[in-house]
Amino acid sequence: MQIPKTEETKKYKDDYIPYPRIEDILEKGGPYPQVILPQFGGYWIEDPEAALGTPTSSDSSFCEEEDDGLSPGGEGGFGYRLECNSISRAYRKHFLGNEHMNYYCTASSMGHLIMSLKYEEADGQESLRIMLRFHVQHILKLWYNVSCVFQLLCDDVTGLKFNPVLYPRASQLIVSFDEHEVNNTFKFGVIYQKFGQTTEEELFGNNEETPAFTEFLSVLGDNIELQDFKGFRGGLDVSHGQTGSESVYTTFRQREIMFHVSTKLPFTDGDIQQLQRKRHIGNDIVAAVFQVEPTPFVPDMIASNFLHAYVLVQAENPGTDHTTYKVSVTAREDVPPFGPPLPNPSVFKKGPEFREFLLTKLINAENACCKSDKFAKLEERTRAALLDNLHDELHRQTQATVGLGSTTDEEKLENGGHGGLLESFKVRCLVLDHLKTQSLRRPVCVFVNICMILPCVGVFRQGGGVCGVVCRHTHILQC
């Protein structure tokens, strides 16, 4: 007999040996771990002794370019890699500004598809660079023979027709879609934790900034006045002072970062929860927790649907020439590991290398959190809606270009007149030829061949037969 799910859950919880409570650890006395797991798990803690499975730069999930990924060693960088979605910038890098063709496919088993194709030749070898977009992800491949293209296209989209996109501004629409998830602005929470604090009310109730905490904030960025601030504000009020008068801000590798510092956000007397502070930090995805002295932190201490990762920083010998920072990292169990890996021991001397490591770790943490179940589902829905909109717009504009479908007056002008660009071109050819032959006073029938250079795509199959072939030289209009 199948056990009801509620009974299974209860049985599992009854049999589960919980982790120690934070109160029990404090009661036993030091030395204290920097971070502990919640009683019933749900998080992981990075182990400095374990090799972190960080993909290489060749992985499609990670930046390929030095300006996007690896820090420039010649400019004081220390080689810490930003882990970002490089395929989002692939169209700009490989296609935009180069001769290529775009295609759209309607209502496949995978939904609408948008494909970009570019013919390339290197060292005497011809190849096709293909970028295929569907609801779940991008596929970017470099193929050296047409049979590989067949395999890519025919496994899941057999028998479907890819129509060429005939719209002058298609590239701008496509690059906007591809880069909709590219993020160059970040906001991170910064929480101050005193010894023995075990609740979010205690954390958000801290007001004073010790010299050690101020020193740590100077590592993160610059203290800025919020009034009339022109940079990325991270949701803070820069007009009316409703979120405090100052904050910490920095730029890092062409990215802007605003920190929501708990002690700089407004404090409300009589509000135990300090909702003014939690409203910002509780809606961040990643937070840094500064521990003024050795004390344990448990990641479910703050109730939040958004906070998925924490970077714990503990100062040793603050305010001296020998200031060091001990670092620990914890995240929810569905967040994949992210770099740079913690050294063993995970202790850094105050200086530029620690700053670069910390900021890189925070940015990579947010990018990794976006792959967790909660955020991945949100992104998939957003991507599907945007892809459908892109497909519909490319189809509509292509129809307008060839003189089909309904268009506005503005679109008619953009696409070459009342009948579309190709129809307008045909009419002009007829008029010019008529003027040249008017003296002959005889009817004229002009045949116009407009040939566009299309990269070879291959054979599209339908059922058991061949449906059609798209070649590098294809007549798309004959009249």
Quick: pLDDT tens for 263-290.
Answer: 999 999 988 999 999 999 999 999 999 9
pLDDT at 52: 56
Q: Quick one: CATH architecture of 92-180+387-478?
A: 2-Layer Sandwich (3.30)
pLDDT of residue 159: 61
| CA count, 13 A, side-chain hemisphere, 396 | 12
In three-state secondary structure terms, 396 is helix
Instruction: Name, in order, each residue with C-beta under 8 angstroms of 310's C-beta and a sequence gap of 6 or more.
Output: 35, 286, 287, 288, 289, 297, 299, 329, 330, 331
Rounded Cα gap, residues 128 and 121, in angstroms: 9
Residues 174/132, Cβ–Cβ less than 8 Å? no
Q: How far is CA 429 from CA 398, 400, 445, 479, in A?
A: 21, 20, 11, 11
In eight-state DSSP terms, residue 35 is B
User: Global pTM?
Assistant: 0.77
What average pLDDT is seen over the chain?
Answer: 79
The Cβ of residue 293 has, within 10 Å, a number of other Cβ atoms equal to 15
DSSP assignment of 316-358 equals ESTTSTT-EEEEEEEEETTSPP-SSPPPSS-EEESSHHHHHHH
Both tokens of 279, joined, read 């409203």
How far, in Å, CA of 387 to CA of 381, rounded? 10
SS3 for 162? Answer: strand
Enclosing H/E stretch for 286: strand 286-291
Neighbours of 107 (CB within 10 A): 10
pLDDT tens digits for 75-128?
Answer: 457 889 999 777 888 899 989 999 999 999 887 667 788 989 898 887 788 888
Spatial strand order of the sheet with 138-143 comes to 138-143, 125-133, 111-122, 101-108, 162-164
Q: Which residue type occupies 55? A: P
User: Could you tell me which CATH class the domain 22-49+183-370 is placed in?
Assistant: alpha beta
Give me the pLDDT at residue 5, please: 43
Interatomic CA distance for residues 183 and 88, integer angstroms? 10
Cα 210–212–213 angle (5° rounding)?
Answer: 65
CA-based Rg of the chain, rounded to a whole angstrom? 29
Contact 62, 84 (CB under 8 A): yes
pLDDT score at 122: 78
Quickly list DSSP for 405-439: S---HHHHHHTTSTT-HHHHHHHHHHHHHHHHTGG
Number of C-alpha atoms within 13 angstroms, CB side, residue 321? Answer: 0
Please say whether the beta carbons of 262 and 279 come within 8 A. Answer: no
The identity of residue 277, as a single letter, is R
> Residue 219: which H helix or E strand, with range?
helix 211-220
Strand 465-470 and strand 458-462: the pairing is antiparallel
Bridge partners (DSSP) of residue 445 are none
Query: In this predicted structure, what is the pLDDT of residue 354?
Result: 97
Residues 6+ apart with CB under 8 A from 441: none
Listed by start position, the domains of the chain span 22-49+183-370, 92-180+387-478
Task: Count the helices and strands in the chain (H runs, E runs).
Answer: 12, 18
Distant-in-sequence, close-in-space partners of 151: CB < 8 Å, separation ≥ 6: none
d(C-alpha 380, C-alpha 390), whole Å: 15
Cα gap 136→62, rounded to integer Å? 17
Q: How far is CA 374 from CA 268, 289, 305, in A?
A: 32, 23, 9
Model pLDDT, residue 463: 35
pLDDT beneath 50: ranges in the chain: 1-6, 8-9, 11, 54-67, 73-75, 146, 415-417, 431, 439-479
CA atoms within 13 A on the CB side of 357: 20
